[in-house]
């Protein structure tokens, strides 16, 4: 996916995976219609067969008639026109009707994706997933990495760009690191654990980030921190990288902000303690939800259990935000939950400072925020926290959003125009 050319690929269909798998996330970043988890599709198709890929509805139609093709093209054009109309609001601030400002940032996979983020009105980069630089056969040079990071920082300056150190492992395997076959890769040698094991590679990335920091406002993010020891070791590596640059007389910014991902339940429980040691939090709901609910987000057979509106998820998010704010640091959410317009009232109610998402979602979220009374969103969120049944919570949220934004939501969930987000 990282090497696909968006100029030569019209759509992506995958037999395995779920909406939150990184294949699907990258397809959306490339602005490609994508449907995942279509079991045994390849048994029905051959080279040259015509199919319709409906990324809005999550449907694949094989061997369509000419009339169905015409209908699909007309529907696609209508949905695109509505999306373009919303994109005209991209320069307007995301401020609620009662004056609450929410920063809307973009998640990007590759340095050139910063152009897409700006096109859709991103106020910053909330997550640059640098692991895709490490998907080749060789470790990218420090100079090459620095240029990639500079590209993003310069394009966004003076707005901040949050750049995450490599988050490899689990469903993002790299040929560079011999991980072998792990019985449970989602909980194995991955992310910050991998970086600390291959410390020289990690130091090279940190040096590249530091050298690039003179080009903009760098927010450095460590992923999958689960205990104080990991954070201390990551911060020690950062200090070592700084010393190495000082020894060579190479400049770096003194204004770098350092934060951690909250995506492991232990980090969420210890949020207050971690908040005293870093400058900001970024909540990674994709992993946090799967670990909290013991539901593998790559496994379509248990996808029904993966529920951002599970009351345990909502209460844990509330605890994280409250702990961070009590200690005086801001909280961003960069997981897929942040880019789902259906949940934005809950995130406003929780008091998040920033939400970061696929750039395609920015116009929809901005429109909803600008037409929302935050006091009412807080009332909704507080009411949900008192409920214990996740199905009832989902019904309450759908009813609420359908009443306020009937063009975007129905009682059954998001309308077609939101289906591809």
pLDDT in tens, the chain (421 residues): 766 766 788 888 988 877 767 777 777 777 788 888 888 888 888 888 999 998 878 889 989 999 999 988 888 888 777 777 887 888 899 999 999 999 999 999 999 999 999 999 999 999 999 998 998 888 999 999 999 999 999 999 999 999 999 998 766 676 777 766 778 888 889 999 999 999 999 999 999 999 999 999 999 999 999 999 999 999 999 999 999 999 999 999 999 999 999 999 999 999 999 999 999 999 999 999 999 999 988 787 888 899 999 999 999 999 999 999 999 999 999 999 999 999 999 999 999 999 999 998 999 999 999 999 999 999 999 999 999 999 999 999 999 999 999 989 999 888 877 876 7
Looking at the domain that runs over 12-84, which CATH code has it been given? 3.50.30.10
Among 129, 302, 149, 281, CA closest to 212: 149
b/e sequence 332-347, b meaning 16+ C-beta within 10 Å: bbbbbbbbbbbbbbbb
Token pair recorded at residue 59: 């449907």
Q: Is residue 192 within 8 Å of residue 225, measured between CB atoms?
A: yes
- Find where tokens 């294949």 sit: 23
Q: Please, what is the angle between helix 142-156 and helix 199-212, to 10°?
A: 40
Token pair recorded at residue 256: 């770098």
CATH 3.20.20.60 fits 90-385, yes or no: yes
Q: How many CB atoms lie within 10 A of CB 91?
A: 7
Q: Report how far apart, in Å, the C-alpha atoms of 398 and of each of 239, 321, 408 are.
A: 48, 24, 11
Q: What is the pLDDT of residue 377?
A: 98
158 preceded by cis ω (within 30°)?
Answer: yes
Q: What is the pTM of this model?
A: 0.89
Question: Angle at CA 14, nearest 5°, toward 285 and 262?
Answer: 10
Q: Indicate which residues carry an active-site annotation.
A: 22, 334
Q: What is the pLDDT of residue 253?
A: 98
Q: What is the pLDDT of residue 143?
A: 97
What are the extents of the domains in the chain? 12-84, 90-385
């Amino acid at each position: 996916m990282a090497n696909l050319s968006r100029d030569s690929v019209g759509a992506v269909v995958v037999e395995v995976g779920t909406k939150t798998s990184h294949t699907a996330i990258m397809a959306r970043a490339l602005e490609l219609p994508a449907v995942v988890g279509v079991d045994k599709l390849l048994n029905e198709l051959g080279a040259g067969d015509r199919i319709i890929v409906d990324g809005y509805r999550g449907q694949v139609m094989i061997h369509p008639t000419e009339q169905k093709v015409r209908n699909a093209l007309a529907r696609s054009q209508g949905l695109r026109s509505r999306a373009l109309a919303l994109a005209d609001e991209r320069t307007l601030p995301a401020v609620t009707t009662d004056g609450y400002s929410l920063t809307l940032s973009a998640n990007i996979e590759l340095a050139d994706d910063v152009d897409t983020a700006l096109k859709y009105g991103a106020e910053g980069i909330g997550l640059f997933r640098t692991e895709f630089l490490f998907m080749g056969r060789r470790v990218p040079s420090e100079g090459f990495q620095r240029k990639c990071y500079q590209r993003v920082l310069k394009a966004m300056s003076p707005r901040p760009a949050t750049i995450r150190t490599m988050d490899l492992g689990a469903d993002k395997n790299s040929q560079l690191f011999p991980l072998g076959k792990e019985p449970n890769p989602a909980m194995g040698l991955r992310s910050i654990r991998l970086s600390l094991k291959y410390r020289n590679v990690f130091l090279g990335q940190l040096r590249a980030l530091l050298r690039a920091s003179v080009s903009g406002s760098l927010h450095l993010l460590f992923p999958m921190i689960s205990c104080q020891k990991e954070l201390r070791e990551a911060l020690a590596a950062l200090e070592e990288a700084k010393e190495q640059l000082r020894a060579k007389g190479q400049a770096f910014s003194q204004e770098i902000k350092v934060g951690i991902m909250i995506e492991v339940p232990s980090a969420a429980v210890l949020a207050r303690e971690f908040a005293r040691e870093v400058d900001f939090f970024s909540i990674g709901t994709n992993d946090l939800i799967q670990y909290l609910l013991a539901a593998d987000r790559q496994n379509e057979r248990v996808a029904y259990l993966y529920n951002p509106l599970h009351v345990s998820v909502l209460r844990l998010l509330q605890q994280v935000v409250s702990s961070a704010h009590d200690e005086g640091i801001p909280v961003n959410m960069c997981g897929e939950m942040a880019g789902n317009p259906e949940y934005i009232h809950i995130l406003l109610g929780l008091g998040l400072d920033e939400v970061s998402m696929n750039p395609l979602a920015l116009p929809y979220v901005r429109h909803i925020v600008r037409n929302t009374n935050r006091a009412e969103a807080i009332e909704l969120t507080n009411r949900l926290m008192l409920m214990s049944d996740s199905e009832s919570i989902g019904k309450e949220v759908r009813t609420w959003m359908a009443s306020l934004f009937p063009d975007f939501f129905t009682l059954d969930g998001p309308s077609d125009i939101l289906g591809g987000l």
